Each structure stands twice: as structure tokens, then as C-alpha cells.
Amino acid sequence: MNVTVAVDCMGGDHGPSVTVPAVLAFLRGHPGAHAILVGREEVLTPLAGEALAAPGGRLRIHPASQVVGMDEPPKSAVRAKKDSSMRVAIDLVKRGEAQAAVSAGNTGALMAIARFVLKTLPGIDRPAICFALPTVKGHAYALDLGANPECTAEHLLQFGIMGAMLASALDHIERPTVGLLNVGAEEIKGNELTKQAAELLRQSSLNYYGYVEGDDIYKGRTEVVVCDGFVGNVALKTSEGLAKMLTTFLREEFMRSPFSKLMGLMARPVLRRFRHRIDPGRYNGAVLLGLRGVVLKSHGSADAFAFEQALARAADAASNRLIERIGDKMAALAGANGECA
Amino acid sequence: MNVTVAVDCMGGDHGPSVTVPAVLAFLRGHPGAHAILVGREEVLTPLAGEALAAPGGRLRIHPASQVVGMDEPPKSAVRAKKDSSMRVAIDLVKRGEAQAAVSAGNTGALMAIARFVLKTLPGIDRPAICFALPTVKGHAYALDLGANPECTAEHLLQFGIMGAMLASALDHIERPTVGLLNVGAEEIKGNELTKQAAELLRQSSLNYYGYVEGDDIYKGRTEVVVCDGFVGNVALKTSEGLAKMLTTFLREEFMRSPFSKLMGLMARPVLRRFRHRIDPGRYNGAVLLGLRGVVLKSHGSADAFAFEQALARAADAASNRLIERIGDKMAALAGANGECA
């Protein structure tokens, strides 16, 4: 793996105290990878320590004087923060000095900057946010999870292509199954958008499965699940809220009485394995798909373990030629439709 | 509580073997209530047994020769099944012999028959499906959960009114808070539909909270959550799928080794309380709102305990004048808009 990842070290709820240790752990686990720490040099240098001087030159700092605020409007981030750690990390991808950028900062700003600097791939109207959700069979890639609250059927087709190529790149599945999220599995179910999108997906060269329902996501019915950004965002956040409520209830039951506390203590190794299995940190790293470069968004509250997962996923996507795969598929689609690629 | 509930005893995955015992338990728990068992007399009579002859005449059978199939298209159920247990139960509400109808049958057919027989209330364009979801604070009424995959802003306003009146009737809250489901809490977020609906809700006499996100549902941010039927159905089914996956994972961890099996055995009372707390059966009974009569849809796979909850909720809604509350509120709205009620 000969990949360089540019890391926005200043973003996220915890900033460099989490991002820098995560990068060091990532480099230890990926011997062929390189990383560029982007942010305030005076903060990053002491945190990175001797790793900066290690043989092989796999780690360096690229200075950036500004930081994009977690609540900063995307427009202002694009216009007024040209030397922000987020912007500089993406500039490094644009210039070819890095093959992927990772940030735990503000999603809207990251999407706006990435789109402004990198541009979308030919044939892609809008980038989408894609996330690997755990399923009983492993995981499924769902998109769009919030970038596009209003979509056309063509957008959903493009999401299907991007999601399938991501599954191919990260999981080495040749023809991943693609499901279209709907309110029922029967052909007559759904709204105008899903009916039109189903038609386009059926005609495409994708391995289109058909409609899937909300519960099919976690059943792992298909490897990719496509929906508009409004529905996807609601499904994702509803899931987060429910998972949090259920784990709270479980903890409360184990804290209710001295007996249940004792049980909780004794069953701790079992409960810990359960918690690890559903730990959202393991799935950290949403991919901003459709851009001319690999960009990953880490959860803002990610700890070092979770941020490291996002770095690993970014390096994996870049070294498995994610962007080229999407570009090739879009060119083939344009060719099949008799258009200029 | 002087209410008669008409029960479609033939519907659902289990039919009379579940519905009849549930009715008997419901009558024991609600001394003022009456029930009419609707279905094949020869099947229902032996199951109901001596309760039919009990003093007070609180239980009787009303024969119906047909059954609506679980996969039967709604149109065919309306046209060809005029003596189905589902149809006859709703006819009893129409004729005033019962104040509420409950069925565990096919949702689409139940909605179509209820709409055809009972009609919608003045000012209500479309009935909606409303469900009480558990939250960390108690529960929240969410609608529409699938009847209307395509909605206008006016529909969402009507859903807000119907949901608020349901919360008033069942939980005795005078002015329940109403949230509009969106992809962000800021005013600029969302699609055209949510922006227009927010404007209508703000101008209404409802206790409108503003936008809520997916995770706010389970946080109990508002007492009522309004969304279109596509988004609501996806959120509900995604939740069902996730809850099932998490409980499967928990069980698997407690079955992994002899040690964890022992822990599971010892912690059984704690785990049982947890399961009871999240048991969807406790929340069974979706209300079909907007009709000129109380109609509840039980989950098709409900057991007797769950079906009894739906019966209790139906009786509660009818005795707390749910239909009159919605009618009054719609009339006030029409009056405020200078229209004829």
C-alpha cells in the first residue's frame, strides 16, 4: 500500500489530541502508508514527537493557520478559510501530494470545500455521503446519508454506481447487490421517485436487487442500499438514537439493584464484547463519493481508535482505485447511452 | 368506560387462537367495556366458551363468512369481501354498534375498507397511520408511518393536528409538543416540503416545537413527530430491524461459551426486564387517524398480550373522544381560515 493520507488534525470535537495519536497508530498498522499532519505546526510537532524523524520519512507536517468551526456555514468556510487545516488537506489531494484526505470537522464545510477544490467526476451531478452500516451478515454501504435532501431518479442511479464501486474497492466484491430503499417490496409500492429510479437501476449494468425496506438494511439483504439524502439521514440518525436508547436501558437494568449490579460485574466480559460488536467507532468514516479524490468524514466525537478506522478506510479506498473505478463505470454508462464521456 | 370494541378475530398471522383469548383478557381488565367477536361463528364459539353466557352480556359474536388475506390487494378486499371479518367489524362502527374496531389483518386492506366505509373527517384529505414509539422519557406519537408515501405541506399540518389530538386523548396532555422530522434543526435545512410544512405548523394553534432529527424521536424531544409516510415507514422499519439485530447480537454473546451461557442464566431476571422494557408488544396498536371512527391496526404477528394492548388503546381512544377532538380542531382551523367548516 503506497498511499499518502492528508489529515485535517484540527477538526472534530477533540482536535489534535485525538487525531495525531490516531495517525501514529495508523502508520504502525500500515507499513507502506504515509501521512501528512495538517494544522498548526506548534501544536502538532510535540504531539507527533520522534515519529517525525523516523527513517523512511513516512510522516510530515504541512502547516495550516486556520481552523473551520464546527458550526461555521459552508459558504464562509469555502470563501474565508483558504488556509484552514480542512482546506489545505484537500488541496494536498488536488495537487497529488496525497491520495486521500480525512477530517473530523464540520460535514457541510468539508463537502463544500471538497466539491469546490476537487470537483465532481464526469457524469456525477452531486456528491453523496456513504457509510458502512453493520448488518447481521457483516456490513452494507448506504447512501446518500444527508448531502442531498432532494434528489432525482438520475441522482439515485449515480448513487447506486458510486456505492457499488465503493463496495468493490473496499470489500473486493465484483458485482455487489444494490437495493433501492422503499416502503414495500412490491412493484406498485413507493413514490414517483422510487418508481423512476427503479426503472433506471434495472436498465443499468449494476447487479440491481430491487426494492428493500428499512429492516432489510440490518438484515444485510443487499451490499449497497440507495436512497435520497433526506430518507437516508433520518434512517441513520433514528438508528443512532435507538441504539443509544437501548444501550442506556440495558445499563439501567444492570444498575437497578445490588443483585443486578453484581450480575453486571460478573457478566462484564460478555457485555464488553457486545458493546465492541456494536461500537459505532468500528464503522467510523463516511466516504464523500463522486469527487475527483478520496475524502472521508470522521464522526466529530471520534476517539483515537475510531479516527484510526477512518484513516485505514481512506488509505484502503485510495489504494484500491476507488476514484478510477467510479470514473470507468460512469464512462461506460455514458458510452452505453450514446453520449460523450 | 362504556365502550364497545368490534374485533376482527380472523385477521393476523395467528387468527382466533390469539385474538379471542386477548379479548377475554381485555374484558377482565376493563370492567365497563364490551366486545363483539367478528368472524366464523363455529370457530369463535368454542374459543370464547362460557364468557359468552356471562352476566352483563359484555361479549357477543357477530358472524362474518369471509377473511381478507394477508397479501390481498386493498381494492379486491373492498369490492369482493363484503362479508369479511374486517369489513363487518368496521361496519359495526359505522352503524354505531361499536365505538372502535381492531384488526391484525392486512394494513392496506384495513385502510382501504375503513376509508371506504367510514370516510374521512371534514378537512382531512388523507388518513394517516400513527404509532406510539418508546422514548427515554416515555413514548412519542409518530405519523404518518406508511399510508401516504407522497404528501403535501397541508397533509403534514393535518397529521400534526391528528397526532396532537391522539396524545391529548390517550395521555391527557392538553397541548402536546409537535416536532417536524427533518435532516437538521436549523431553519435552512430540509427540502421544500418541510419548509412549507414548518410555515403552516408555525401559524397553526398547535404547540409547534420546530424541526426534530431522527435521533430526537427516541430522546423524546417532542410528544408528537410528524413526517411523510415514506420517511416514517423507513424510520419505523429501520428501527425494527436494528432492534432485532441488537437483541440477536446480545443473545449470541451470552451463548458464545460455557462461561457466558452461565452468566446469561444468572443474569436472566435482569435480561428479562430489559427485554420486557423494549418489547414491541407493549406498544402494539397503530391508530388509523383521520377517519369518522376509531380503527386500530395490530401487528400481524402480535401474541395475545400484544393484541390486548391494541384493544385497550382502542377503547381508551374511543372513550376519550378522539374523533370528536380531531373534528373540533379541524372545524376551528377551518373557522380561523374563514372557510365553511
The cell for A214 is 428499512
What integer pLDDT is reported at residue B340 of this predicted model? 44
CA distances from A76 to A80, A84, A299 (A): 5, 12, 21
| Residues in chain B within 8 Å Cβ distance of A139 | none
CA-closest candidate to residue B329, choices B160, B130, B134: B160
Cβ distance B183 to A230 less than 8 Å, yes or no, reads yes
Instruction: From the options 3.40.718.10, 3.40.1710.10, 3.30.565.10, 3.30.70.260, give the CATH code of B125-282.
Output: 3.40.718.10
- Flag if B231 and A231 touch (Cβ within 8 Å): yes
**Contact: B216, A270; criterion CB under 8 Å:** no
Average pLDDT over every residue of A103-109? 94
The whole-angstrom distance between A274's CA and the closest CA on chain B is: 6
A72, A156, A183, A212: best to mutate for the B interface, most B CBs within 10 A: A183
Which pLDDT score is estimated for B279? Answer: 84
Mean pLDDT to the nearest integer, A324-341: 78
Q: Which of A136, A234, A271 sits opposite B231 (nearest CB)?
A: A234
Q: Per the structure block, which three cell numbers stand in for A29?
A: 498498522
Ordered alpha helix ranges (H), chain A: 16-29, 41-48, 74-80, 85-94, 107-118, 153-171, 192-203, 214-219, 229-255, 258-266, 268-277, 304-319, 322-336
Task: Check CB contact under 8 Å for A239 and B191.
Answer: no
Nearest of B51, B52, B67 to residue B9 by alpha carbon: B67
Asked if residue B177 lies in contact with residue B224, where contact means CB atoms within 8 angstroms, the answer is: yes
Residues of chain B contacting A231 with CB distance shorter than 8 Å = 230-231, 234
Q: Which three cell numbers stand for residue B146?
A: 406508511
- How far does the CA of residue A261 sit from the closest CA of chain B (Å)? 10
Cβ–Cβ below 8 Å for A150 and B192: yes
User: To which residue does cell 397541508 refer?
Assistant: B154
- Closest in B149, B219, B263 to A270, CB measured: B263
A230 and B260 in contact by Cβ < 8 A?
no
Residues of chain B with pLDDT under 70: 338-341
Q: Which of A146, A192, A274 sits opposite B250 (nearest CB)?
A: A274
* A161 close to A204: Cβ distance less than 8 angstroms: yes
Say which of A183, A238, A260 has its CB closest to residue B230: A183
User: How many alpha carbons lie under 13 Å from residue A80 in its C-beta half-sphere?
Assistant: 9
Dump pLDDT digits (tens) for A243-290: 999 999 999 999 999 999 999 999 999 999 998 888 888 889 999 999
Closest chain B CA to residue A137: B245
Residue of B nearest to A235 (CA): B235
The candidate with the shortest Cα–Cα distance to A36, out of A14, A64, A13, A67, is: A64
Considering the entire predicted model, what is its pTM?
0.91
Kindly list the residues from chain B whose CB atom is less than 8 angstroms away from the CB atom of residue A245. 134-136, 218-219
Q: What share of chain A is helix, strand, coil (3-state, %, to 5)?
A: 50, 20, 30
> Which fold would CATH assign to domain A4-120+290-320?
Isopropylmalate Dehydrogenase (3.40.718)
Task: Identify the pLDDT of residue A277.
Answer: 87
Tally of CB atoms within 10 A around A262: 14
pLDDT at position A278: 85
Record: contact A273-B253, CB cut-off 8 A:
yes
User: Shortest Cα distance from A272 to chain B (angstroms)?
Assistant: 9
The 8-class DSSP code of residue A5 comes to E
What is the C-alpha to C-alpha distance for residues B217 and A241, in angstroms, rounded to an integer?
A: 7
**Helix B258-266 and helix A258-266: axis angle, to 10°?**
170
Q: How confident is the model at residue A226 (pLDDT cuts 50, 70, 90)?
A: very high
Q: What is the mean pLDDT of residues A112-134?
A: 96
Longest dimension (CA), chain B: 72
pLDDT for A162-200, tens place per residue?
Answer: 999 999 999 999 999 999 999 987 777 888 899 999 999
Chain A CB contacts of B254 under 8 Å are 267, 270
User: Distance between CA A158 and CA A152 in Å, rounded?
Assistant: 10
Cβ contact, residue pair B263, A267, below 8 Å: yes
Q: How far apart are CA B221 and CA A200, in angstroms?
A: 39
Give the pLDDT confidence score for residue B338 in this predicted structure.
59
Instruction: Locate CATH 3.40.718.10 in chain A.
Output: 4-120+290-320, 125-283
Chain A closest-CA separation from residue B191 CA (Å): 6
Give the bridge partners for A212, in sequence order. A181
CATH architecture of the domain covering B4-124+290-321: 3-Layer(aba) Sandwich (3.40)
DSSP letter at A126 equals: S
A270 with B256: Cβ contact below 8 A? yes
- Answer yes or no: are the C-beta atoms of A26 and A107 closer than 8 Å: no
Q: Where in chain B is the domain with CATH 3.40.718.10?
A: 4-124+290-321, 125-282
Show the cell assigned to B239: 428501527
Band the pLDDT of A338: cuts 50, 70, 90: low
Q: State in words which class domain A125-283 has.
A: alpha beta
